[in-house]
Structure 1
Amino acid sequence: MSGILGRLRLLRTSSGSIWPAQTCRYLAAERTNHVSVTMDPDFDGSVAIVKLQKKPVNSLCSNHLQEITKTITGLENNERVRAMIITSAFPGVFCAGLDLMSMYQRTDDEIYTFWHHFQDMVLKNYTTPLITIAAINGHCVAGGCTIAFGTDYRVMCEDHLTGLNEARLGLPIPFYLKNMTQNLIGKRQAEKMFLLAQFVKSDKALKLGLVDEVVPMDQVMTAAKKQVTKFLEIPDVGRSIVKEGLRKADIEEFNEKRESDARFYASLNSSRKIQALFKENLENLKKKKK
């Protein structure tokens, strides 16, 4: 429990706010602007609305991953902030997953670095002591599921898709994404989704347990705020300790295996077979745009 308790101490003792006025942008690099943060006035600065805004579909490149990680860290270091609602600036698409161009025609070392940035984001989102609510206002698929599945509560809009299609790319499911999915819907249902590379609509996702609530698009944020109000009623220290206890085994496994995981995916994703699949998928995406 030392990890979350340490961050809670930092939250309580931090002086000043890194967020000017009611809104800010927290950048991982000067040339990027893929995440925006607004402090919700309804909660007196205790709830941050984090919007993913990398055009066109919030595909996760290294800069985007680093921004998300640093944004969450920045919110943890703000003594006023207790909760984060993460959503998309583009209604219709929450997150389309990992950016294939970040792995296509890249060296082992480049993919290894990219994969570490992915791991950093996953771990930060999964272990933060903040209350985390995913306001899924569009499709949330493949690697993008690590963001939503790692939160404390998920509200999704009607008639959109979520799920994992890694099998179509010839890729194994990262063990941490496998664990997250199994924690939500059980081993057998997760296994079928993985093997069939399934995307499911919102109503099916609700029945399976991938999301906690499904509402019309224009009610997603309202529903997310309603839930964050319930979470705010619980003292931060007690809630965070319980959260860490529930996720402890997964976190320990993550820390134990993350280096071998990065090496494995760097080697696999740079192989001729997987590069050919990346090329095929990128060409199919170009055809769909025409």
Structure 2
Amino acid sequence: MAALALLRGSAPARLLSGCVRSALTGASWKDSGSRRHFSNDKILVELDEATGVALMKMKNPPVNSLSLDFLTEFSIGLEKLEMDRGCRGVILTSAVPKIFSAGLDITEMCGKSAEHYAAFWRAVQEMWLKLYGSNMVTIAAVNGSSPAGGCLMAMCCDYRIMVDNPKYAIGLNETQLGIVAPFWFKDTMTNLVGHRVTEQSLQLGQMYPAPEALRVGLVDQLVPEDKILSTASSVMTQWLSVPDHARQITKSMMRKQTIDKLVSQREADIKNFVGFVTKDSIQKSLQIYMEKLKQRKQ
């Protein structure tokens, strides 16, 4: 698949690895009236059959870090919804208080083998390809801070609603860790907020408090915390009022070039990541950052 699938029944399943596809076959829904539930170790999903809207909650405490296990199970859950003809939209949020997602799990990038780094990065790519390329309407209900990979997940969605609290911040802060956001992170942000804001944000590793995130266009709406899911549901209703085929083709037209770029360079991107993260200087920077995190906890 080089772009969004244009028809509802042709979800980009071929992007899944063999292990994810096999795991999907064992996944099953649990019925509860007009609602169906699906869960695994890292996510909770509830699909309202009356509206065709699924609520997907990330539950990887303490901070919803994007580990290899989490990314795999997230892809399983999203693909299951993509393949379900009764699901037209997904609201993505967090089951962990005060945090949407803290981004990529640093422990997956430090002190491991080159083979592990390659598997991890492939899982990050797959998450992005599936979320950014989804046929469904995707709304991020950002109910806490969302740095780095968490910000990427939110940016992949069609619409972002964030809690109106200046203590919560969002942004691609990779340079603060001594690492560099890859081109497809950059492209996603550029498509959203423009070249100048992206250039400054990425160089400085800026984290935007909620009001500033709204000002620069990183999020679309701020609401009180107790209103975030009801607001997301209202916005979803508006988006679903548009005929699916017209909306999907338009979404594909807007995102195709960006998706094609990674698909055509996927292996080279993995090789580049492994080469970068295995450098002694990068490993040292990551170790220093992990030590700082430990000191903060203590």
TM-score normalized with structure 2 length? 0.89
Cα distance in 1 for partners of 2:296, 2:50 equals 44
Shift of 1:2: 7.3
Alignment match, 1:272? 280
**1: distance between equivalents of 2:77 and 2:249?**
22
Report the identity percentage. Answer: 34
Residue 65 (str. 1) matches residue 74 (str. 2): no
Q: Does 1:25 align with 2:43?
A: no
Q: CA deviation at 1:197?
A: 1.1
> What's the C-alpha RMSD, in Å, of the aligned pairs?
1.6
Segments of structure 1 that go 5 or more residues without pairing to the other structure are 12-16, 28-32
Asked if 1 retains the 8 angstrom alpha-carbon contact of 2:4 and 2:256, the reply is: no
Measure, in 1, the Cα distance between the counterparts of 2:172 and 2:3: 33
CA contact (8 A) 2:4 2:135 kept: no
CA distance in 1, matches of 2:130, 2:3: 15
What CA distance in whole angstroms lies between the structure 2 residues aligned with 1:4 and 1:112? 26
Deviation of 1:18 after TM superposition, in Å, equals: 4.7
Q: Contact 2:52 / 2:86 at 8 angstroms: preserved in 1?
A: yes
Equivalent residues in 2 for 1:40-79, closer than 5 Å: 40=48, 44=50, 46-79=52-85
Taking a change above 3 Å as real, the CA distance of residues 194 and 46 of structure 1, as seen in their structure-2 partners, is same
Deviation at 1:163, TM superposition (A): 0.7
Alpha-carbon distance in 2 for matches of 1:79, 1:164: 34
How far apart in 2 are the matches of 1:18 and 1:81? 15
Tell me the distance in 2 between the aligned counterparts of 1:70 and 1:252. 22
Does residue 177 of the first structure (1) align with residue 185 of the second (2)? yes
Number of residue pairs matched? 277
Task: Find the aligned partners of 2:95 and 2:3 in 1 and give their Cα distance.
Answer: 35
Q: How far did residue 58 of structure 1 move?
A: 0.3
Residue 253 of structure 1 is aligned with which of 248, 252, 261?
261
Cα distance, 1:257 vs. partner?
1.4
**Partner amino acid for 1:20?**
K
| Equivalent residue for 1:153, pick from 149, 159, 175 | 159
**1:94 alignment partner AA:** F
Match among 228, 235, 238 for residue 243 of structure 2: 235
The answer (yes or no) to whether the contact 2:60–2:96 under 8 Å persists in 1 is no
Q: Show structure 2 runs of 5+ residues with no match.
A: 12-26
| Matched ranges for 1:135-146 at <5 A | 135-146=141-152
Counterparts of 1:19 and 1:238, CA distance in 2: 29
For residues 4 and 10 of structure 1, do their structure 2 counterparts lie closer, same or farther at Cα, with a shift above 3 Å needed?
A: closer
CA contact (8 A) 1:176 1:250 kept: yes
2:6 maps to 5
